[in-house]
């Protein structure tokens, strides 16, 4: 068993919503999410727009203050720490965003963009030291060292995303959150970046949380997958199992509508699939209840527990699998 | 099949501050009556430029330098703006990736839709326009259509807005619908519903569709025929089944191998990126990235017919 780097327990992130009245309501963007992550492992998080993926990623690395729950990073709970105390963890946890256009400071040269985090965290001090490390990092992400002197707008989208990755690597992180890192890129460029990320992981044994709404991309990248719906993990488990044999009705629906690049495998949608609501003070029952075609009476009464399935660490939060019930899969 | 739209040898340039952009270079394309043609290509390949040329919505600093666009045999490019207005939104409709650009935030859906109908049916009453709008929302399987008519755009989700726009584009029973990445900003479940919807409408109304996408999987789902574009050129064209079964152009092949598939262990990552369009491409546009390139590729291969397929590559052309 490889070494656990991250243990997240019942993590919550609620955003207060202003209403006309005095009473405060909460948008529960992340609600009681738990998972673990080992060194060198990738957890993929899939889910539709607004399901809470980005909020989860930002909360885990403490760019957001959690509403509740634990984040054990190398065994230490960083959830309650105040800003100041976080500094020594910052360099260990990095994030790469979707949009390579807006995530890089347009007025800084590439050398400074990559060199800055080294300076802030005291990983390199002299000019020469920084320059030589920047060169190394550029090489690692497959760029010629001349780009050092350029500005972000002088680079293509794929090149900019390589810069964002190099910047994330600059502090030798143990965990990187990759939030839709290739969603803005063309497929051929996406393939380059995905393979680069895999290679970096192999070399550095970095743990990844890989977020995307693109299920094919996530399944290519991840050892395990978590399926997020309206702020909760409805299903988790090894990629092959979750994708190959989805159990939660939401996962089944999601996987059934992923288009394949094969005209002999056409998707057929005959019914209205509905849309998720905003999770604003949702009732304490399954959040998929209004769209679920397998709904049981209990689903309107109580939230489903997280039910372990088999020995592979798989879980599904659905009453269909509760109390020893067995249901035909598919 | 009767040809509805024919694009022949079309070249379009943009005059920009940074020089001339050669966005389309001698493009050929035909769309039959009742056919769904998917135009597939990476960013900057010229897909939107092609669509905007067909519907004559290019910005003033763009210029068609050569070629023709024939709609039912009539040359669209020589039409006056006034004549074009009777075609646009009527015989040819268009939907875009970003529904917010098309919808006016200040108007309720019913005002927006009835205006579109009345623009081409000046003799009709508001009531007629309203009942037509309701009918089209039903056709587009918009849930609670009466309620949606009373809403403002910001009160609807992205997927619902896109369905409203599809319904709007159908108001005047167009012969051709051009959809420019209509599902690229939407979740897969909404995307699947919209694809099913467009296919059903095409079947029931014998409407022709040009479906533009960068996503091969989406093209495989929706198209009868696909046209593969790269850097302003058409590199390959054929029935969707044949092209996916055996891509001819090395670019198409590369594109297919770089799509991550569920359960795939490895994807190929071709080197390089698309060429700069600020100078006219004189060689095969894919030459610099092509694993099969040879000397002849320094000369640009024409798009030639191979049975009922077409390909622009010297591997298939003895020249
Ligand atoms: N700073 C914020 N304040 C209030 N609400 C927020 C904030 N950030 C996110 N939300 C809300 O939280 C929910 C989850 O948003 P989040 O961005 O995490 O989703 P996501 O899964 O990353 O979606 P996408 O796929 O569109 O990126 C959404 O309903 C969103 O509107
Ligand atoms: N309005 C414009 N002004 C100047 N150049 C333009 C304009 N529109 C497009 N171009 C340029 O023309 C070329 C083709 O662009 P186009 O938008 O047609 O491609 P596309 O295939 O639709 O790309 P995408 O997938 O990114 O939408 C690109 O090099 C682009 O930068
Ligand atoms: Mg997000
Ligand atoms: Mg476009």
Task: Please indicate whether, in this complex, the C-beta atoms of B42 and A257 are within 8 angstroms of each other.
Answer: no
Q: Which residue is closest to A266 within chain B, CA to CA?
A: B221
| Residues across chain A | 330
Residue B319 pLDDT class (50, 70, 90 cuts): low
- Say whether pLDDT at B18 is over 50: yes
Do residues A207 and A42 lie in contact, with contact meaning Cβ atoms separated by under 8 Å? yes
Of A115-119, B90-94, B108-112, B185-189, the poorest mean pLDDT is in B185-189
**Chain A residues touching residue B277 (CB < 8 angstroms):** none
**Ligand sitting nearest the alpha carbon of A64:** 1
> Could you tell me if the CB of A13 is within 6 A of ligand 1?
no
| pLDDT score recorded for residue A323 | 63
d(CA A153, CA A157): 9
The reply to whether A164 falls in a domain is no
For residue A90, count CB atoms less than 10 angstroms from its CB and return exposed for 0-12, middle for 13-18, buried for 19 or more: middle
The reply to whether A136 falls in a domain is no
B291 touching A, CB under 8 A?
Answer: no
Domains of chain B: 1-91+210-261+268-279+288-319 (3.40.50.300)
> Could you tell me if the CB of B14 is within 6 A of ligand 2?
yes
By Cβ distance, the residue of A192, A216, A262 closest to B269 is A192
Establish, for the pair of chains A and B, how many residue pairs have beta carbons separated by less than 8 Å.
131
The reply to whether A48 falls in a domain is yes
CA A76, chain centre distance (Å): 21
* SS3 assignment, position A12: strand
> Could you tell me if the CB of B46 is within 6 A of ligand 2?
yes
B194 touching A, CB under 8 A?
Answer: no
> Could you tell me if the CB of A213 is within 6 A of ligand 1?
yes
d(CA B252, CA B244): 9
Q: Does the pTM exceed 0.90?
A: yes
> Could you tell me if the CB of A158 is within 6 A of ligand 1?
no
- Hey, how many other C-beta atoms are within 10 angstroms of the C-beta on B205? 15
- Say whether pLDDT at B192 is over 50: yes
Evaluate the CA torsion angle B300, B305, B309, B315 in order and state its sign: negative
d(CA A219, CA A216): 5
Listed residue (B31, B34, B43) closest to B6, CA to CA? B31
- Hey, how many other C-beta atoms are within 10 angstroms of the C-beta on B156? 18
Helix axes B158-170, B188-205, angle to 10 degrees: 10
d(CA A244, CA A325): 21
Joined together, the tokens standing for residue A267 give 């998707």
b/e map of B271-295 (b: 16 or more CB within 10 Å)? Answer: eebbbebeeebeebbbbebbeebee
Domain count of chain A? Answer: 1
Listed residue (A155, A46, A152) closest to A107, CA to CA? A152
DSSP A274: -
The reply to whether A170 falls in a domain is no
Helix axes B126-139, B158-170, angle to 10 degrees: 120
A127/chain B closest Cα distance in angstroms = 31
d(CA B141, CA B126): 23
Joined together, the tokens standing for residue B221 give 């789902």
| pLDDT score recorded for residue A329 | 44
> Could you tell me if the CB of A27 is within 6 A of ligand 1?
yes
CA B10, chain centre distance (Å): 15
End-to-end Cα separation, chain B, in angstroms: 30
CA distances from B178 to A17, B87, B96 (A): 40, 13, 8
| pLDDT score recorded for residue B263 | 72
B79 touching A, CB under 8 A?
Answer: no
Cα dihedral A255/A260/A264/A269 (nearest 10): 40
d(CA B68, CA B257): 34
In sequence order, what are the residues at sequence separation of 6 or more whose Cβ sits closer than 8 angstroms to the Cβ of residue A81? A62, A89
Q: What is the A88 CA–ligand 2 centroid distance (Å)?
A: 45
- Say whether pLDDT at B318 is over 90: no
DSSP-assigned beta bridge partners for residue B242: none
Task: Please indicate whether, in this complex, the C-beta atoms of B261 and A191 are within 8 angstroms of each other.
Answer: no
Do residues B237 and B228 lie in contact, with contact meaning Cβ atoms separated by under 8 Å? yes
| pLDDT score recorded for residue A17 | 87
Strands (E) located in chain A: 4-17, 25-38, 42-46, 68-73, 76-77, 93-96, 175-179, 207-211, 224-229, 232-238, 307-309, 314-316
How do strand A207-211 and strand A175-179 relate by DSSP bridges?
parallel
User: Quick one: average pLDDT of B280-299?
Assistant: 96
Listed residue (A194, A191, A163, A156) closest to B275, CA to CA? A156
Q: What is the A226 CA–ligand 1 centroid distance (Å)?
A: 17
Helix axes A110-120, A157-169, angle to 10 degrees: 20
* SS3 assignment, position A25: strand
CATH number assigned to the domain comprising residue A299: 3.40.50.300
d(CA B147, CA A46): 32
Task: Please indicate whether, in this complex, the C-beta atoms of B258 and A240 are within 8 angstroms of each other.
Answer: no
Interface of B with A in 134-163 (CB under 8 A): 141, 143, 157-160
* Under-50 pLDDT residues of chain A: 326-330
| pLDDT score recorded for residue A1 | 52
Task: Please indicate whether, in this complex, the C-beta atoms of A259 and B218 are within 8 angstroms of each other.
Answer: yes
Per the listing, tokens 């810069």 go with: A163
| pLDDT score recorded for residue B317 | 86
| pLDDT score recorded for residue A22 | 72
For residue B20, count CB atoms less than 10 angstroms from its CB and return exposed for 0-12, middle for 13-18, buried for 19 or more: middle
Q: What is the CA radius of gyration of chain A?
A: 21
| pLDDT score recorded for residue A330 | 40
| pLDDT score recorded for residue A274 | 85
B36 touching A, CB under 8 A?
Answer: no
Q: Which domain holds residue A311?
A: 4-92+212-324
In sequence order, what are the residues at sequence separation of 6 or more whose Cβ sits closer than 8 angstroms to the Cβ of residue A136? none
Share of chain B above pLDDT 90, in %: 79
**Chain B residues touching residue A157 (CB < 8 angstroms):** 43
> Could you tell me if the CB of A15 is within 6 A of ligand 1?
yes
Q: What are phi and psi of B48, to 5 degrees?
A: -70, -35
* SS3 assignment, position A213: coil
B195 touching A, CB under 8 A?
Answer: yes
The reply to whether A244 falls in a domain is yes
Residue B195 pLDDT class (50, 70, 90 cuts): very high
| pLDDT score recorded for residue A328 | 47
């Amino acid at each position: 068993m490889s070494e656990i780097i991250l243990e997240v327990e019942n993590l919550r992130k609620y955003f207060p919503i202003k209403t006309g009245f005095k009473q405060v309501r909460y948008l529960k963007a992340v609600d009681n999410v738990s998972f673990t992550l080992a060194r060198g492992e990738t957890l993929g998080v899939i889910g539709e727009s607004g399901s809470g993926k980005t909020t989860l990623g930002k909360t885990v690395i403490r760019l957001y203050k959690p509403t509740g729950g634990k984040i054990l990073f190398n065994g230490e709970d960083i959830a309650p720490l105040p800003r100041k105390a976080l500094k020594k963890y910052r360099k260990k946890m990095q994030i790469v965003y979707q949009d390579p256009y807006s995530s890089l400071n347009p007025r800084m040269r590439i050398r400074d963009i990559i060199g800055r985090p080294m300076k802030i965290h005291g990983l390199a001090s002299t000019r020469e030291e920084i320059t030589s490390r920047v060169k190394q990092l550029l090489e690692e992400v497959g760029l010629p060292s001349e780009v050092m002197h350029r500005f972000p707008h002088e680079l293509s989208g794929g090149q900019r995303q390589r810069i964002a990755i190099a910047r994330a690597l600059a502090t030798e992180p143990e965990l990187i959150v990759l939030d839709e890192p290739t969603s803005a890129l063309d497929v051929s460029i996406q393939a380059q970046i995905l393979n680069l990320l895999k290679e970096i992981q192999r070399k550095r044994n970095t743990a990844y949380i890989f977020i995307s709404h693109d299920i094919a991309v996530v399944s290519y990248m991840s050892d395990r997958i978590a399926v997020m719906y309206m702020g909760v993990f409805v299903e988790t488990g090894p990629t092959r199992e979750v994708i190959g044999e989805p159990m939660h009705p939401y996962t089944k629906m999601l996987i059934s509508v992923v288009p394949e690049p094969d005209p002999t495998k056409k998707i057929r949608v005959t019914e209205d699939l509905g849309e998720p609501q905003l999770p604003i003070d949702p009732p304490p029952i399954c959040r998929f209840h209004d769209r679920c075609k397998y709904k049981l009476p209990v689903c309107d009464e109580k939230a489903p527990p997280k039910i372990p399935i088999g020995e592979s660490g798989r879980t599904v939060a659905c009453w269909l699998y509760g109390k020893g019930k067995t249901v035909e899969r598919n | 099949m009767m040809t509805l739209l024919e694009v022949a040898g079309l070249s379009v340039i943009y005059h920009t501050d940074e020089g001339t952009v050669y966005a389309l270079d001698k493009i050929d394309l035909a769309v039959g009556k009742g056919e769904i043609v998917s135009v597939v290509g990476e960013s900057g390949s010229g897909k939107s430029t092609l669509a905007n040329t067909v519907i004559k919505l290019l910005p003033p600093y763009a210029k068609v330098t050569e070629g023709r666009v024939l709609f039912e045999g009539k040359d669209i490019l020589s039409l006056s703006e006034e004549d074009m207005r009777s075609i646009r939104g009527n015989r040819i409709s268009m939907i875009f990736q970003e529904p917010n650009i098309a919808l006016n935030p200040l108007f309720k859906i019913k005002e927006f839709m009835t205006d579109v109908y009345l623009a081409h049916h000046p003799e009709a009453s508001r009531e007629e326009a309203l009942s037509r709008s309701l009918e089209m929302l039903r056709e587009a399987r918009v849930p609670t259509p009466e309620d949606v008519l009373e809403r403002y755009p910001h009160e609807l989700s992205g997927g619902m807005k896109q369905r409203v726009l599809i319904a709007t584009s159908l108001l005047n029973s167009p012969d051709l619908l051009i959809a420019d990445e209509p599902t690229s900003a939407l979740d897969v479940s909404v995307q699947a519903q919209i694809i099913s919807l467009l296919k059903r409408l095409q079947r029931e109304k014998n409407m022709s569709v040009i479906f533009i996408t960068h996503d091969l999987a989406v093209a495989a789902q929706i198209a009868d025929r696909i046209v593969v574009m790269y850097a302003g050129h058409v590199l390959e064209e054929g029935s969707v089944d044949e092209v996916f079964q055996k891509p001819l152009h090395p670019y198409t092949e590369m594109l297919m191998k770089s799509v991550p598939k569920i359960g795939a262990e490895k994807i190929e990552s071709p080197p390089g990126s698309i060429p700069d369009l600020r100078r006219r491409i004189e060689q095969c546009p894919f030459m610099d990235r092509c694993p099969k390139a040879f000397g002849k590729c320094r000369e640009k291969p024409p798009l030639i017919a191979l049975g009922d397929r077409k390909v622009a590559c010297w591997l298939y052309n003895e020249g």
